[in-house]
Structure 1
Amino acid sequence: MLVLASKTDAEVHVRGDSAKTYNHLGLTLKARGDLDGAVRAYRRAIQFNPNEPTPHYNLGLALHARGDLDGAIGEYRQTLRMNPDDADAHHNLGYALKGKGDLDGAVRAYRRAIQIRPDFAEAHHNLGVTLYAKGDPDSAIKALRQALNLKPDLAAAHSSLGIALKDKGDLDGAIEAYRQAIQVRPNDAEVHNNLGVALKHKGDCDGAIQAYRQAIEIHPGLAEAHHNLGVALKEIGDLDDAIGALRQAVRIKPDFVEAHNSLGLALYARGDCDDAIRAYRQALRLKPHEASLHYNLGLALYAGGNLEGAVGAYLQALKLKPYDADAHNSLGVALKDRGDRESALQEFRMYLRLSTDEQEKQRARDLIYELGGAP
Structure 2
Amino acid sequence: MKRRPILAIAGVIACGVAVLTWKVWPREAAPPPPQPPAIDPAGVDPVVWREIEANRTEVERTPKSPRGWGRLGMVLLAHQFRSESLTCLARAEFLEPDDVRWPYYQALAVRRSDPEATIAHLRRAVATGGGGDGPRLLLAELLLQRGQTDEAAALFQAAQARDSSNSRAALGMAQAAFGRDDLSACMQYLEKAKDDPRTRKAAHTFLAEIQQRRGDRPAAEEAWRVAQALPDDVPWPDPLAESIQEMMVGHLEIVTHAASLLQQNRPDQAIPLLQRAIEDYPESNWARVLLGRAWLRVGNLATAEAVLREAVRRAPETVEAQFYLGVVLSEQKQFAAAIPFFRQAVQLKPDYALAWYNLGFCNKQIGKRGEARTAFQSAVDCRSQFAEARANLGELMAEDGETDAALDQLRQAILLTPKDAHAQELLEKIKKQSRHLSPR
Q: TM-score normalised by the shorter chain: which range applies? A: 0.5 to 0.7
Opposite residue 361 of structure 2, the aligned amino acid is V
Q: Structure 1 stretches of 5 or more lacking a match?
A: 1-5, 30-36, 48-58, 274-375
* Equivalenced residues, count: 243
Match of 1:77 among 243, 248, 265: 243
Aligned to 1:253: 417
Change (3 A) 1:104 1:79: closer
Cα distance in structure 2, aligned partners of 1:238 and 1:191? 25
Per-residue CA distance 1:236-263 (angstroms, 9 max, x = gap): 3333322221112112222222211221
- State whether structure 2 residue 406 is matched by structure 1 residue 226: no
- Which residue number corresponds to residue 143 of structure 2? none
- The amino acid across from 2:331 in the alignment is D
Which amino acid is 1:77 matched to? S
Q: What's the CA shift string for 1:155-179, capped at 9, x where partnerless?
A: 1221111111112232233111111
Match of 2:342 in 1: 178
Decide whether the 8 Å contact of 2:380 with 2:389 is kept in 1: yes
The Cα offsets for residues 258-315 of structure 1, whole Å up to 9 and x where unpaired, read as 2112212222333469xxxxxxxxxxxxxxxxxxxxxxxxxxxxxxxxxxxxxxxxxx
What's the offset of the Cα at 1:74? 4.2
- Residue deviations 1:87-120 (CA, integer Å, cap 9, x gap): 3333343334344443322222222222222222
Structure 1's 122 and 74: CA in aligned 2 closer, same or farther, altered over 3 A? farther
Instruction: Tell me if the contact between 2:245 and 2:257 (Cα under 8 Å) persists in the aligned partners.
Output: no
What corresponds to 2:333 in structure 1?
169
Contact 1:69 1:96 in 2 (8 A): no
Deviation at residue 181 of structure 1 after TM alignment: 0.9
Equivalent residue for 1:214, pick from 378, 397, 400: 378
1:147 shift after superposition: 2.4
Q: Which consecutive segments of 4 or more residues in structure 1 shift more than 4 A?
A: 6-19, 21-29, 64-67
- Distance in 2 between the 1:226 and 1:39 partners? 50
Cα distance change, pair 203–15 in 1 and its aligned pair in 2 (3 A): closer
Distance 1:68 1:129 in 2: 19
Structure 1 residue 97 and structure 2 residue 261: aligned? yes
Q: CA RMSD in A?
A: 4.0
Partner of 2:37: none
Distance change >3 Å, CA 11–CA 154, structure 1 → 2:
farther
CA distance in 1 between counterparts of 2:117 and 2:295 reads 32
Q: Which residue of 2 aligns with 1:114?
A: 278
Which of 137, 140, 160 aligns to 2:324? It is: 160
- Between the aligned partners of 1:200 and 1:38, the Cα distance in structure 2 is 57
Residues in 2 aligned to 1:193 and 1:157: alpha-carbon distance in whole angstroms: 17
Partner-residue secondary structure (3-state), 1:70: coil
Determine if contact 2:107/2:117 at 8 Å carries over to the other structure.
no
Residue 190 (structure 1) shift = 1.6
Q: What is the letter of the counterpart of residue 245 of structure 1?
A: Q
Q: Superposition pairs for residues 1-375 of structure 1, below 5 Å?
A: 40=118, 67-71=234-238, 74-81=240-247, 85-271=249-435
The structure with higher relative contact order (CA 8 Å, sep 6+) is: 2
- Counterpart AA for 1:143: V
Q: Is the alpha carbon distance of 1:237 and 1:161 closer, same or farther for their aligned partners in structure 2, counting shifts above 3 Å?
A: same
For 1:14 and 1:80, how far apart are their aligned partners in 2?
A: 16
TM-score between both structures, scaled by the size of structure 2: 0.47
Distance 1:99 1:229 in 2: 29
CA deviation after TM superposition for structure 1 residue 127, in Å: 1.5
TM-score of the superposed pair, with normalisation by structure 1: 0.54
1:17-71: CA deviations, max 9, x gaps?
A: 999x999975679xxxxxxx59949x79xx9xxxxxxxxxxx9xxxx99854422
C-alpha separation in 2, matches of 1:213 and 1:188: 12
CA distance in 2, matches of 1:188, 1:130: 21
- Residues 14/95 of structure 1: CA separation in 2 closer, same or farther (3 Å cut): closer
C-alpha distance in 2 between matches for 1:138 and 1:7: 34
Q: Highest Rg: 1 or 2?
A: 2
Distance 1:137 1:38 in 2: 49
- 1:319 corresponding residue in structure 2: none
* Distance change >3 Å, CA 168–CA 17, structure 1 → 2: closer
Aligned to 2:72: none
CA shift for structure 1 position 121: 1.6
1:124 to 1:12, Cα distance in 2 relative to 1, 3 A: farther
1:227 and 1:219 map into 2 onto residues whose CA distance is 13
Q: Secondary structure at the match of 2:237?
A: helix
CA distance in 2 between partners of 1:80 and 1:25 (Å) = 20
Maintained 8 Å contact 1:171/1:198: yes
| Counterpart AA for 1:167 | E
Asked whether the equivalents of residues 88 and 113 of structure 1 are also in contact (C-alpha less than 8 Å), the reply is no
Q: Which runs of 5+ in 2 are unaligned?
A: 1-76, 91-105, 126-137, 139-197, 199-231
